Amino acid sequence: MRIRVLGCYGAEMPGYKTSGFLINENTLLDAGTVVSVLSVEEQIKINNIIISHTHLDHIKDIQFLADNVMGKRDKPINLISTNGVLSVLKRNILNDIVWPDFTTIPSKDKPILKFLSVQEKKELSIGELTVKPIATTHIVETVGYVIKDKKNAIIYTGDTGHTEEIWKIASRESNLKAVFAEVSFPNKMAELADVSGHLTAKGLGKELKKMGKPEIPVYVSHMKPQYLNIIEEDISDLENKKIKVLKQGDIIEL
């Protein structure tokens, strides 16, 4: 499994792009950043977009990707998430008001985008990968994912505050090779993190203890760039060498 970091921040400003991870060249894990990094030729290869939730920093490039690949693919791009997440996307974004409904363009029989629903805690096979959504704790319906190939499994928490189920599942996953978790705010802003359904470095440290696998590498994303230096210091204070703060352009090979 090869994971390329297209964007990994919790806000967008010059030099900092929002959440988007490319798995094995043909699957996106969230789509806050896609079209400003990938060439059109790379965009055409994307078959699946796994969506954690519908906040704009995780979905905004779905619309532009659909526009860019129109007429260049024979099959639709699958938008994969729970019914609840997909219905919000349909109702509020792909509604012919905010953006054209590419699930019916150029026709209902041959659309650019296709909704592919998956039930929480149920595995869905997409090519060489399987995905399983796990509810996390955020201010809108949000799921993290267990993503597997034949040899490896990763956990992606998406946006979450303190939560339980995804760590229980991580603790039982025998092929777990990496966790992708969020830290959005400095420790000194813990109250804001709690209210907004996010974590601080100290909060992440508490969450990782629930998993009980200190040997597993943890890759941190979703940092608010205006607080990045402070967040990095807070993470360093955890004294956990398995935790790495992601940067755009990083590639993780499993």
Q: What is the pLDDT of residues 207-230, one digit of tens each?
A: 999 999 999 999 999 999 999 999
Q: Is 149 exposed, middle or buried (0-12, 13-18, 19+ CB in 10 A)?
A: middle
Q: What is the tens place of the pLDDT at every residue in 117-130?
A: 999 999 999 999 99
Task: Spell out the domains of the chain, with CATH numbers in brackets.
Answer: 2-253 (3.60.15.10)
Cis geometry, peptide bond prior to residue 106 (ω within 30 degrees of 0) = yes
Quote the pLDDT of residue 11: 97
Quote the pLDDT of residue 76: 98
In the chain, pLDDT over 70 holds for what percent of residues? 100
Query: Facing residues of 27 across strands?
Result: 23, 48
Residue tagged 């929002």 (tokens) = 18
CA-closest candidate to residue 77, choices 36, 51, 106, 46: 46
Quote the pLDDT of residue 182: 98
Under DSSP, is residue 81 helix (H, G, I), strand (E, B) or coil? strand
Q: How far apart are CA 49 and CA 59, in angstroms?
A: 9
Quote the pLDDT of residue 184: 98
Quote the pLDDT of residue 223: 98
CA-closest candidate to residue 36, choices 57, 56, 7: 7
Helices (H), the chain: 40-44, 56-69, 83-92, 165-172, 190-196, 201-211, 228-237
Under DSSP, is residue 46 helix (H, G, I), strand (E, B) or coil? coil
Q: Which residues of the chain have pLDDT under 70?
A: none
Q: What's the half-sphere exposure (Cβ side, CA atoms, 13 Å) at 222?
A: 23
The number of residues making up the chain comes to: 254
Quote the pLDDT of residue 217: 98
Q: How far apart are CA 23 and CA 154, in angstroms?
A: 11
Quote the pLDDT of residue 139: 98
**100-137 residues labelled b (16+ CB within 10 A) or e (exposed):** bbbbebeeeeebbbebbbbeeeeebebeebbbbbbbbb
Q: Which two tokens stand for residue 3?
A: 């994971």
Listing from the earlier edge strand, what are the strands of the sheet with 124-126?
124-126, 129-135, 143-148, 153-156, 176-182, 218-221, 243-245
Q: Is 244 exposed, middle or buried (0-12, 13-18, 19+ CB in 10 A)?
A: middle
Quote the pLDDT of residue 152: 98
